């Protein structure tokens, strides 16, 4: 039984794993908020139960309702294993399981999200609580804690009584066949794309500022923002705010798109100036498969994937000037873009594809 916040997030990040589990003979369901992906999920032989998690709310009554309704789903389905994803969802699942017997819990921390910070003082305040959280969710012989990058591994493992209950599985996997490499267009205008949920911590504002800096330098560029606002996240930009942000700029907000492969294929550079607590961002894996260089930030997640100056560039978060400098290096050098694209493609296919990632999760499932 998978427990995730939204059906679209399940399809984006856990669908391949769930389908593989079905093929291996497991009965699989997912508890999530149902929006637009239920039919796709059920067509794959995966049950989909409508479960609404209290995202972004500290209201104790809403949290209790999330725990109680999940517990009822668990009692009805009677799973032998639960795979919960994200810090809040993992915590809710851990509480819901209290007293329910011998059920294994695989807890994937796909980045620290809003519980991370680039502020050193705030980091020092958050770390003790995160260590306690890691110890709590991995306690017992039937529970596993999974992290996606080395920074999260170092932090959370330091708080565990038994370090062998934590695993580093880098990312959610990707099927290279769905994102085959293609040559970038040869037009003079360079297209730079940021594809993500439209939350501030993904560097949305800094991206628009950086594209405008490039234009002021006389570079022929166009910026694309691709993704939807996240109504459940208090840091989300609204549609109205995005319209104001991009008005009169060389950046266009396209909203949500289902054709991510075509968007990347029509792009020259993929940019994710995030200071959010990432795992391994899927958009960067997709960019690598298609063969596009990356400019991202020197934060957990991207720095596990991008080798500075080899696969792309990493900059300090919340710094539009440094971001523009890094983008300019790629905008003005087509051969460098091609060289970094080829390097990143080889790295993603070798180290981050479904072949390795899904096998690692299935090994955990079988270990119980």
CATH topology of domain 176-351: Rossmann fold (3.40.50)
Residue 157 structure tokens: 């493992």
CB 211 within 8 A of CB 251: yes
pLDDT tens, per residue, the chain with 368 residues: 999 999 999 999 999 999 999 999 999 999 999 988 999 999 999 999 999 886 666 678 888 999 999 999 999 999 999 999 999 999 999 999 998 988 999 999 988 876 665 555 666 777 888 888 888 888 877 899 999 999 999 888 887 766 778 999 999 999 999 999 998 877 789 999 999 999 999 999 999 999 999 999 999 999 999 999 988 788 899 999 999 999 999 999 999 998 999 999 999 999 999 998 889 999 999 999 999 999 999 999 999 999 999 999 999 999 999 999 999 999 999 999 999 999 999 999 999 999 899 999 999 999 87
CATH class belonging to 2-173+353-366: alpha beta
Q: Do domains 2-173+353-366 and 176-351 have the same CATH topology?
A: yes
Q: What is the structure's pLDDT at 125?
A: 75
pLDDT in tens, 73-101: 999 999 999 999 999 999 999 999 998 98
Quick: pLDDT tens for 3-42: 999 999 999 999 999 999 999 999 999 999 998 899 999 9
Instruction: State the Cα–Cα distance between residues 329 and 337, nearest whole angstrom.
Output: 9
3-state secondary structure 76-105: HHCCCEEEEECHHHHHHHHHHCCCCCCCEE
* Residue boundaries of the structural domains of the chain: 2-173+353-366, 176-351
Closest among 267, 223, 269 to 249, alpha carbons compared? 223
């Amino acid at each position: 039984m998978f427990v995730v916040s939204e059906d679209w997030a399940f399809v984006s990040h856990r669908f391949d794993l769930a389908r593989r589990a079905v093929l291996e003979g497991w009965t699989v369901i997912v508890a999530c908020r149902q929006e637009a992906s239920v039919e796709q999920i059920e067509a794959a032989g995966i049950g989909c139960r409508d479960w609404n998690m209290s995202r972004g709310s500290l209201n104790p009554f809403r949290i209790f309702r999330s725990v109680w309704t999940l517990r009822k789903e668990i009692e009805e389905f009677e799973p032998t294993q639960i795979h919960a994803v994200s810090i809040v969802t993992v915590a809710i699942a851990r509480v819901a399981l209290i007293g329910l017997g011998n059920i294994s819990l695989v807890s994937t921390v796909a980045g620290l999200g809003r519980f991370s910070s680039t502020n050193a003082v705030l980091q020092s305040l958050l770390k003790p609580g995160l260590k306690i959280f890691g110890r709590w969710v991995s306690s017992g012989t039937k529970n596993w804690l999974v992290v996606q990058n080395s920074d999260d591994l170092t932090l959370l493992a330091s708080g565990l009584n038994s370090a062998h209950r934590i695993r580093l599985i880098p990312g959610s996997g990707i099927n290279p066949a769905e994102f085959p490499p293609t040559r970038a267009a040869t037009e003079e205008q360079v297209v730079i794309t940021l594809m993500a949920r439209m939350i501030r911590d993904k560097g949305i504002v800094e991206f628009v500022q950086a594209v405008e800096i490039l234009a002021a330098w006389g570079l022929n560029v166009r910026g694309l923002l691709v993704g939807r606002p996240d109504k459940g996240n208090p840091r989300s930009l609204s549609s109205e705010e995005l319209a104001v942000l991009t008005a009169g700029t060389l950046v266009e907000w396209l909203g949500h798109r289902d054709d991510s492969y075509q968007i990347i294929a029509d792009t020259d550079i993929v940019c994710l100036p995030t200071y959010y607590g990432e795992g391994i961002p899927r958009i960067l894996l997709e960019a690598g498969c298609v063969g596009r260089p990356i400019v991202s930030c020197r934060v957990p997640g991207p720095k596990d994937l991008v080798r500075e100056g080899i696969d792309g560039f990493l900059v300090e978060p919340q710094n539009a000037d440094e971001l523009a400098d890094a983008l300019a290096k790629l905008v003005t050098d087509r051969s460098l873009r091609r060289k970094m694209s080829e390097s990143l493609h080889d790295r993603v296919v070798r180290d981050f594809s479904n072949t390795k990632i899904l096998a690692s999760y299935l090994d955990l499932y079988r270990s119980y």
